Amino acid sequence: GEDVEQSLFLSVREGDSSVINCTYTDSSSTYLYWYKQEPGAGLQLLTYIFSNMDMKQDQRLTVLLNKKDKHLSLRIADTQTGDSAIYFCAVIQTGANNLFFGTGTRLTVIP
Amino acid sequence: EAGVAQSPRYKIIEKRQSVAFWCNPISGHATLYWYQQILGQGPKLLIQFQNNGVVDDSQLPKDRFSAERLKGVDSTLKIQPAKLEDSAVYLCASSLVAQGWNTEAFFGQGTRLTVV
């Protein structure tokens, strides 16, 4: 099976950039996602990247993929207090139908 | 567009009791998933349906968990009997087709189960 690892906590000051990291074990992972979970809410898809890409930018979000190191990161520019949440990295392997989620990183934005 | 609806939002039961959760996916979504999210962990897939057929239930503890999706729309997940370690948030998600490139799965708010 796939192991997806994330650091548990990250604190940043409002206006700074946040970088949330994720590592995975299966090199056949083809689709890689970032989800956001706010308290008491379900998961919201933020962005995704295909394994043949190494970067994707979407407004304040930048996803970087290093396939060689099996490392995925999410950069949030100009972090706001509304960005405080738990961020999950998730991957799908070739031929599989479901997401493998990481443990989640709790982002706290300090005003 | 209405989202994925789940009920109840919260449930507290004693161990060895039974419990059922209900999910109404987004209209027209063929694929439905049940995930278990234990506190401090990421969600783990329990079962995936395509219409009313099971695609993957390899992680479902079948001695106590069961799920069905009658008529390929609503779904129920049942635990009988519950154990303390079943305390978790149970998330339902749906997507138009099986997850893959450019296919977003939409999640419900979840049912928080506490077994005491």
For each of chain B's 116 residues, which pLDDT tens digit applies?
579 999 999 999 999 999 999 999 999 999 999 999 999 889 999 999 988 899 889 999 999 999 999 888 999 999 999 999 999 999 999 988 765 555 678 899 999 999 99
Distance of alpha carbon B33 from alpha carbon B106, whole angstroms: 10
Q: Which residues of B touch A45 (CB under 8 A)?
A: 104-105
Distance of alpha carbon B96 from alpha carbon B100, whole angstroms: 11
Asked if B73 has any chain A CB less than 8 Å from its own CB, the reply is no
Look at residue B115 in the predicted model and tell me its pLDDT.
98
Distance of alpha carbon B14 from alpha carbon B19, whole angstroms: 10
Distance of alpha carbon A78 from alpha carbon A18, whole angstroms: 8
Q: Which residues of B touch A97 (CB under 8 A)?
A: 48, 55-56, 98-99
Do B42 and A101 lie within an 8 Å CB cutoff? yes
- Whether residue A99 contacts residue B105, with contact meaning beta carbons closer than 8 Å, is answered with yes
Do A99 and B105 lie within an 8 Å CB cutoff? yes
Which residues, at least 6 apart from B82, have a Cβ–Cβ distance to it below 8 Å? B13, B14, B15, B16, B17, B18, B19, B64, B113, B115
Look at residue A30 in the predicted model and tell me its pLDDT.
81
Look at residue B2 in the predicted model and tell me its pLDDT.
77
Question: Which stretches of chain A drop beneath a pLDDT of 70?
Answer: 1, 94-97
- Residue of chain A nearest B46, judged by CA positions: A98
Q: Which residues of B touch A8 (CB under 8 A)?
A: 40
